[in-house]
Chain A
């Protein structure tokens, strides 16, 4: 009996049997085509508005300004000015993703461990910045961190400093703003992975004589690695191509990858340079995300 009973829960057709099989198969095929057609309008939009221009950029990156096939655009990336952009970008992305991991862990942990009220309150604290426009938050940081801003004023009033600190229009300001923008993206997957941990495991660890610290280190922490890893790599990748906050808080002094791409178009009209930078950015993104997926699959396999 592989009939109705198996097929009801998922609603997905099984291979038809018996005398009407050819007819049923044809009906299933027609139905399948109908379902595919449902996604067609969406597919057209994504292909036309995303895949096509991306393919165009990839294509353009392989030609020099005279229109000849060449690697000129990729060789240009070895120049010191681009090297500096790459090192800045990777350094900032690294610092921001580690900082996000460190800040996200305690808050996600408390959210997962405490009662409904506290965890709801903390969730609201995460959702407010999550839903607030990046522009608004970047603007707020600009105002907070500027020379006459709240932080400098408070530090001077307390007598801790006599001169205002340079907190913005530099790498420090960029990093602070980016951590604020990225933190919710780190907390949410981490919280999900912590919520999935069976509390009985910690009880069992304690029963076996583990101190709370041992229980946390040896039982709890390893189970959050996958959430931590996926959050960190997500944040890392988003940092690599991030435009708004570095431009506004870097004040033109922190040249990250996305700004370099944008400058090549709006200042120099150099499509070859911009597109080759873009191609490498996409490849880096795919590499990090793909690597993370493979690593997670490995962890899962070992866990079984």
Chain B
């Protein structure tokens, strides 16, 4: 097996062992820190230790039993849910509109929608802190959802734009020529075919809001503190193993999400 050639240029697997070893190390570097929090979160001690000397669920109890952590989780879920719905609708509509024409104007619009991705988050944060203090939106869910929707729109516009570029637009026109109005044609003919792109845009929007730290740090204070903000302050001020429990839950969600995606993907391709 080691003498099998791996490229048309006759390099064998054996000659490439060093590459496999190197890549294994890099892959471990990428993966291990993400997974390491899981065993640590079951530690029974007051400090984080690895390997844990005794096993317990006390940090999960600390997380679920604390009204502050629960409140923060609820705020994050509410904000991410609302952001997902609004950003997906606005972003899909915008991507659809932009895709119809390729004029300087529509290119300009596309550029405008990419801006939230390019401006450093810390600037967005202080700019919004300033604006929202004038509008009384600091510490409100409305302000948080507005900010996160703006941050999430580029991902939806890109994802849906990608979907549309491989979609045969004439189907939409055929539907219209058969008497469907634009709206009906979009929902019955176009949307079902670009649903994977819309869905991936929505997932990006959810993650963008749920994981967002910096803007939340400035504008999500008081009773509308987000989970990410609370975790950040907790890590900065005291390294409390409760965060390990929350982190494990988050990593677990990512792993489940990736598994679902892997199972669903071949079906989507068929």
Contact = CB atoms under 8 A, between A and B. Distances in A.
A137 B34 contact: yes
Contact of A248 (B19, B170, B236): B236
A43 interface: yes
Interface stretch (A64-72, A77-85, A123-131): A123-131
A54 B123 contact: yes
B187 interface: no
Given A53-B131, A103-B29, A122-B23, A132 B118 contact: no
Contacts of B128: 49, 53
A27 interface: no
Contact of B19 (A110, A135, A142, A286): A110
B36 A144 contact: yes
Given A12-B102, A43-B112, A46-B113, A133 B126 contact: no
Interface string A25-62: 00000011011111101110111111111101100000
B130 A9 contact: no
Given A36-B97, A206-B8, A262-B125, 18 more contacts: A10-B169, A43-B109, A45-B90, A54-B123, A56-B127, A57-B126, A103-B26, A107-B26, A107-B27, A125-B31, A128-B258, A129-B33, A131-B254, A143-B36, A143-B50, A150-B50, A241-B121, A248-B236
Q: Chain A's interface: helix, strand, loop or mixed, by majority?
A: helix
Contacts of A134: 211, 213
- Shortest Cβ-Cβ A-B pairs, 8 listed: A11-B169, A241-B120, A53-B127, A38-B97, A39-B94, A42-B94, A140-B33, A258-B122
A174 to B, nearest CB: 14
A218 interface: no
Contacts of B102: 12
Contact of B127 (A57, A106, A180): A57
Given A8-B170, A241-B120, A248-B232, A46 B33 contact: no
A138 interface: yes
Interface in B109-154: 109, 112-113, 115-116, 118-131, 146-147, 149-150, 153
A128 B170 contact: no
Given A42-B91, A140-B37, A244-B213, A132 B254 contact: yes
Contact of B11 (A34, A36, A47, A212): A212
Contacts of A244: 213-214, 232
Interface string B79-104: 00000000000110110111011100
26 contacts: A11-B170, A35-B97, A35-B100, A42-B93, A42-B153, A45-B149, A46-B113, A49-B128, A49-B146, A50-B150, A127-B258, A128-B254, A129-B31, A131-B258, A133-B211, A136-B250, A142-B239, A144-B33, A202-B8, A241-B122, A243-B122, A248-B232, A258-B120, A281-B120, A281-B123, A285-B118
Interface string A1-17: 00000001111100000
A173 B93 CA distance: 43
Interface of B: 6-11, 19-20, 22-23, 26-27, 29-31, 33-37, 40, 47-50, 90-91, 93-94, 96-98, 100-102, 105-106, 109, 112-113, 115-116, 118-131, 146-147, 149-150, 153, 157, 168-170, 172-173, 182, 207, 210-211, 213-214, 218, 228, 231-232, 235-236, 239, 243-244, 247, 250-251, 254-255, 257-258
A12, A141, A153: most-surrounded residue (chain B CB, <10 A): A12
A215 interface: yes
A133 B236 contact: no
Interface of A: 8-12, 31-32, 34-39, 41-43, 45-54, 56-57, 103, 106-107, 109-110, 113-114, 122, 124-129, 131-144, 146, 148-150, 153, 180, 183-184, 199, 202-203, 205-206, 212, 215, 240-241, 243-244, 247-248, 258, 261-262, 265, 271, 274-275, 278, 281-282, 285-286, 289
B6 A50 contact: no
A217 B164 CA distance: 38
